[in-house]
Chains A and B, each alone.
Chain A
Amino acid sequence: MDMKNVKNVDYWQIDHRLKNVSEREGAIVMPSPKAWEKFSWVKKYFLRKPEEGYFVWLKKEGKNPLTTCLTIASPNISQKLNNLLVIEEGIKVKINGFCNAQKNNLRGSHIAQGKIIIKKGASLEYNHCHQWGENDSVETDYRFILEENSSLNYNYKNLFPPKKLRIKTFVFEDKNSSSELDITIRASNTKIDIKDNLVLKGKNSQGIVRLKLVGGENSEIKAKSSIVAKEEVRGHLDCQGLLISESAKIFLTPELICQNKMAQITHEASIGRISEEELIYLRTRGLNEKEAIGLIVNGFLVAKK
């Protein structure tokens, strides 16, 4: 997933302006304030009428992934977005969500709250990519509600974080549902606060959370990742940090809360540095130190267990 190759955007908001909304079969896509007015049931998902943001209601499977883009293109823009995504029962869909600043020095603010409802038996693969300028400030709060027998594969990737980033991700799972969350962040010159919470409240629900964090120059990452087991469930938390600068700090706090004796929840957490041997090995292949570190870091970010 790469923002350079974004094509066929279904919902694209630039600053506060709507660039385009597509029509596609089996989907209703519109700004969330408009959805608030049009569908009374939408109101229960928002505290008040949203100011901006998208509403996506997927009723049928489509050939291509649905794509949303929320962009800051002008200086000093402050977006306050409320997004709602509803996946109807039994369908399998893929969504690509991009949030970005078009330039590096716009000093923008992007505050996004989102609710994602995955109805019974539905399946969602959601690739969420952030790319910000070095003076932006970003706060997101996404809540995924998984109904019975549904599944979620959520990949959040941020290789160009803003000056300040706070991301909250909550997943609530009902009976027999499953989720995989991958949160991948490469930080430099930034302060990042991550909070994710997987609540396994339905019997036989299961989930895996994987955090991969790279701390570069002048960066501080605080990550609190938790799993709550309320029923006979299975969950695993895997938090990995890699420090590549003397001026980087990573604080990892994995937390397991078990409220059922039949539940099985586990975690592993590690923070390391780049292996000197790997670095020298790649240098004997003709790569300079910076290139070798780049390759190792990219490998760390994409490596599967």
Chain B
Amino acid sequence: MLLEIKNLEATSNGKKEILKGINFQIKKGEIQALLGPNASGKSTFAQVISGNPKYEIKKGEIFLNGKNITKLPPEERTKLGVCLSWQSAPAIKGVKLYQLLDRISKEELQKSNLKELGIKDSFLLRDTNLNFSGGEKRISELLQILSLKPKLVIFDEIDSGLDLKKIRIFSDIIKKELIDKKISILLITHSGEILNFLKPAITNVMVSGKIICREKNFKKVLATIKKYGYEKCKKCGLLAN
């Protein structure tokens, strides 16, 4: 098992309880999806796995390749291969994107990927994430993730703000650069559009800080949510933990 999470409970700054006893596992090379309504705790889950100290783990443990990483700082987790693609990445004024990529890079940027994403040099010369459009932010995140040589990537809303053509291009690059190299992926998505391209082995549904469903057929989950909303998921509770 690459990542194993046992009975995780976490709060934001020691106050509001957001994650309420989560058990989760992902194998090496596996793709999983995480769906859920707004404010269900999906992004918090991603941030807690990546070690954001803003969140306090009240209970439970996180293991990576059998090593307990629950108390490790974010940079150590990243070095071990846990990499997060942020949903709302902050701007770093004065730090050009190419400078950041150069600084964090373990892998040379593939020029073919830049071409496929339609990136011009002028984009890399801009301050990281400053005044980036939604699509540009996703590109910035993807480039950073590819530079980090990850073992597990958590994509938090990588498809948000992208049109179908761009989602296809992103998916092709993720397949080529990550999936084909047996990198594990957790896709957090609101629209679920990217799942049609990347086809997760397991689709999880999170509601109110709990994973209430783990289902192999992502199409079934998407169709149910589309038709009945997350209320149906609450009642169904398929494979609830």
Q: Which residues of A line the B interface, CB within 8 A? A: 275-278, 280-289, 295-296, 298-304
B42 to chain A, nearest CB (A): 17
Please name all residues of chain A whose beta carbon is closer than 8 Å to the beta carbon of B78 when the two chains form the complex: 283-286
> Is the pair B54, A296 in contact by a Cβ cutoff of 8 Å?
no
Given contacts A284-B51, A288-B75, A296-B95, 16 further A-B contacts (CB under 8 A): A276-B54, A280-B53, A281-B89, A282-B92, A283-B51, A283-B78, A284-B50, A284-B74, A284-B84, A286-B104, A287-B75, A295-B92, A295-B100, A299-B127, A300-B93, A303-B94
Bound together, the chains give a CA A302 to CA B93 distance in angstroms of 9
A276 — nearest CB in chain B belongs to which residue? B54
Query: Mind listing 28 A-B residue pairs with CB under 8 Å?
Result: A275-B90, A276-B54, A277-B90, A278-B91, A281-B90, A281-B92, A284-B50, A284-B74, A284-B83, A284-B84, A284-B86, A285-B75, A285-B78, A286-B148, A287-B75, A287-B103, A288-B73, A288-B75, A295-B92, A295-B100, A296-B92, A298-B94, A299-B92, A299-B94, A299-B95, A301-B94, A303-B93, A304-B94
Number of A-B contacts (CB under 8 A): 68
Q: Please, which residues of chain A bring their CB within 8 A of the CB of B51?
A: 283-284
Residues B87-132 near A (CB distance < 8 A): 89-95, 100, 103-104, 127
Write the nearest CB–CB distance from A268 to chain B, whole angstroms.
15
B74 touches A295 (CB 8 A): no
B144 → chain A, closest Cβ, in Å? 6
Q: Is B232 an interface residue (CB 8 A)?
A: no
Chain A residues with CB under 8 A of B127: 299, 303
Q: How far apart sit A288 and B76, CA to CA, in the bound complex (Å)? A: 8
B220 proximity list for chain A (CB < 8 A): none
Instruction: List the A residue with the shortest CB-CB distance to B147.
Output: A285
Contact A278 B52 (CB under 8 A): no
In the bound complex, CA of A304 to CA of B104 (Å): 23
Q: How far is the CA of A34 from the CA of B95 in the complex (A)?
A: 46
- Interface status of B71 (Cβ within 8 A of chain A): no
Most chain A beta-carbon neighbours within 10 Å: one of B50, B79, B104: B104
Q: A295-B103, A303-B127 are in contact. Are A283 and B73 (CB under 8 A)?
A: yes
